[in-house]
């Protein structure tokens, strides 16, 4: 089914804080309109990436369409995590309205404020959806009051403040405009879709005017090549049409080979598409996000897409450890360079800078350590082998020439008994408490303004100290004056002084000195970090030392070797753990922490030079 009248098209984006149920709601809408089977077992069908399904978060913005009562509704599912805010900023331009999804227990959170601000500035009149109303301790009335306050703080117009309210449970599959009817008389999501049809304006644009389409997302197909996804703001685009593409890189001519429309989760080939619709096009291999496509010789360029600047950077290096090249498929400088610059074509919030001093090192800038670690994990799964440094914040100078750094708004929900330790640690990291409240169900909410530097390595500490019971979220707030030095990792590292196979007898003696990261039987090399030392200083140990058989006197007098299970670190935990003089070696099969300088004499020499 394809529609050719712009009168039938409505474009809507779903925005919310992470884990408030955006993708689950899209699933429910697709099922309610018959676009996917009601008995579909798989959850979050919009999460197409392996990393999205594993982590339970949305990383890339995606499109779907539903047909309802003669209307085509284009739905844009957006990420909820602050690190992927660049995805939200660029795709909101395709929508005419947004569904603001808010948890009935948690209420508006930092990322809610961030994405709502972007939407209000574009002139959208949001629809408020109170989700998870069937949760224990749900308080929809209090949440609505907080949302009104948030709209007021963000300077919403009276028209934007007059938003419709829908109460729903995306997981249970029901919605209603009246709280008393939700889940009782209204037992499906059709009331929500009715509100969308009534409230969302019909997509504007003159179908008979000169073609104007802006690319706001990029995809790649092995058979069709690069796919540019965007909205047609004016005119009609046709298959095999000669077009001109204008962007910051100049003007290029080409021909549209295919037009791809969205029907449910599927892409269908169209002969033409009209103003107001969201489609994908192929045939233009040098497309970039923000480019405007028009008729040949008559292209009117739209304003380029701007996103907030990166706040965190990390160095990506070619792997030069003793085990380099054994496990990876792509290991050279050229292969890593090409992959990083290819990422910037679709990831507009990321920057890649070449190091003029070292050709094997690249500075990658992003919106947070999660933003960068997802890229690292993606490259690892593609077969790349590389090393990365500790994340660093990007410092700037203000108008008076003073040094400034990024600050974030941090909110932590945790049991009350753990709050004292967490507050003490946040204060040590130069954080400033803004608010603190304890809910009726025994959870304490702490709100801080803290330098982004202070959050590097904090999540691992929080998980350990709260026994995994804390929920943390943060969002970029502002650039402000440099807060001064923040002490890094308190403990030193256990460093291997030999290359070989780690043996149980040696690790048994080493484990008294700290916490091990490696099990027995794996290959280690000189300068590799084996674990965390119990003291502040680094300690060199020999994990390959075997017990001499001449020391065995009798079978009954030998002490049994009992090893504590090692702490297996994930990629994010490795990146959070390392200090300035360490790197994480990443291969498709292994994660290793190492010193930048493997030779101990060279480490001492560099430490003396840094102290001068």
Q: Which tokens in the block code for residue 105?
A: 């227990």
Distance between CA 511 and CA 94 in Å, rounded?
Answer: 56
Residue numbers belonging to the annotated binding site for GTP: 19-24, 131-134
DSSP symbols for 41-68: --S-TT--SHHHHHHTS--S-EEEEEEE
Residue among 540, 539, 536 nearest 497 (CA): 540
DSSP 423: H
Burial zone of 197 (CB within 10 Å; 0-12 exposed, 13-18 middle, 19+ buried)? middle
SS3 labels along 145-167: HHHHHHHHHCCCCHHHHCCCEEE
Tokens of 452: 């982004």
Output the DSSP codes for 342-397: HHHHH-TT-EEEE-SS-TTEEEEEESSHHHHHHHHHHHHHTTB-EEE---EE--EE
Binding-site annotation: residue ranges: 19-24, 131-134
Query: Which of these, 170, 129, 164, 147, lies nearest to 21 by C-alpha position?
Result: 170
Distance separating alpha carbons of residues 37 and 20, to the nearest angstrom: 23
- Check if the beta carbon of residue 103 is closer than 8 Å to that of residue 20: yes
Question: Using alpha carbons only, what angle is made at residue 223 by residues 218 and 229, rounded to the nearest 5 degrees?
Answer: 20
Strands 242-247 and 351-354: unpaired
């Amino acid at each position: 089914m394809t529609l050719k009248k712009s009168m039938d098209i409505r474009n809507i984006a779903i925005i919310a804080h992470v884990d408030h149920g955006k993708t689950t709601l899209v699933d429910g809408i697709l099922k309610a309109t018959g676009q996917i089977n009601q008995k579909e077992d798989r959850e979050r069908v919009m999460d197409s990436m392996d990393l999205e399904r594993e982590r339970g978060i949305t990383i890339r913005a995606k499109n779907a369409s539903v047909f309802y009562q003669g209307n085509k509704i284009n739905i844009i599912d957006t990420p909820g995590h602050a690190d992927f805010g660049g995805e939200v900023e660029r795709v909101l331009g395709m929508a005419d309205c947004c569904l603001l999804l808010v948890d009935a227990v948690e209420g508006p959170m930092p990322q809610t404020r961030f994405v709502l601000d972007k939407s209000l500035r574009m002139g959208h009149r949001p629809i408020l959806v109170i989700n998870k109303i069937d949760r224990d301790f749900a308080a929809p009335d209090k949440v609505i009051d907080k949302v009104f306050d948030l709209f007021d703080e963000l300077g919403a117009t009276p028209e934007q403040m007059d938003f419709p309210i829908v109460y729903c449970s995306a997981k249970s599959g029901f919605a209603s405009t009246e709280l008393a009817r939700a889940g009782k008389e209204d037992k499906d999501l059709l009331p929500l879709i009715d509100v969308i049809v009534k409230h969302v304006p019909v997509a504007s644009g003159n179908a008979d005017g000169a073609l104007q389409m802006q690319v706001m997302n990029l995809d790649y197909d092995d058979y069709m090549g690069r796919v540019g996804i965007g909205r047609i703001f004016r005119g009609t685009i046709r298959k095999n049409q000669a077009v001109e593409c204008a962007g910051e890189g100049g003007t290029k001519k080409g021909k549209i080979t295919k037009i791809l429309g969205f029907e449910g989760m599927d892409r269908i080939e169209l002969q033409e598409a009209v103003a107001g619709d969201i489609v994908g096009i192929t045939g233009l291999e040098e497309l970039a996000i923000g480019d405007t496509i028009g008729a040949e010789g008559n292209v009117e360029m739209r304003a380029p897409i701007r996103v907030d600047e990166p706040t965190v950077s990390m160095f990506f290096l070619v792997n030069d450890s003793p085990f380099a090249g054994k496990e990876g498929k792509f290991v050279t400088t050229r292969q890593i360079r090409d992959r990083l610059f290819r990422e910037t074509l679709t990831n507009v919030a990321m920057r890649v800078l070449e190091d003029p001093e070292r050709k094997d090192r690249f500075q990658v800038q992003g919106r947070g350590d999660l933003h960068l670690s997802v890229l690292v994990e993606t490259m690892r799964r593609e077969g790349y082998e590389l090393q990365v440094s500790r994340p660093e914040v990007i410092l700037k100078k203000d108008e008076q020439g003073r040094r400034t750094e990024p600050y974030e708004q941090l909110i932590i929900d945790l049991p009350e008994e753990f709050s004292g330790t967490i507050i003490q640690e946040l204060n040590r990291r130069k954080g400033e408490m803004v608010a603190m409240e304890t809910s009726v169900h025994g959870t304490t909410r702490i709100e801080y303004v803290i330098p982004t530097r202070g959050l590097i390595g904090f999540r691992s500490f929080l998980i350990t100290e709260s026994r995994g019971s804390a929920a943390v979220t943060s969002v970029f707030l502002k650039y402000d004056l440099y807060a001064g030095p923040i002490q890094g990792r308190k403990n030193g590292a256990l460093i291997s002084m030999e290359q070989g196979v780690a043996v149980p007898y040696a690790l048994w003696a080493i484990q008294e000195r700290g916490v091990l990261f490696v099990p027995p039987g794996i290959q280690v090399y000189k300068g590799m970090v084996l674990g965390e030392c119990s003291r502040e200083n680094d300690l060199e140990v020999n994990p390959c030392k075997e017990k001499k058989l001449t020391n065995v006197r009798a079978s009954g007098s030998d002490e049994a070797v009992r090893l504590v299970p090692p702490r297996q670190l994930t990629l994010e935990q490795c990146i959070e753990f390392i200090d300035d003089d360490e790197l994480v070696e990443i291969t498709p099969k292994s994660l290793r922490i190492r010193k930048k300088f493997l030779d101990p004499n060279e480490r001492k020499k560099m430490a003396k030079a840094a102290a001068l």
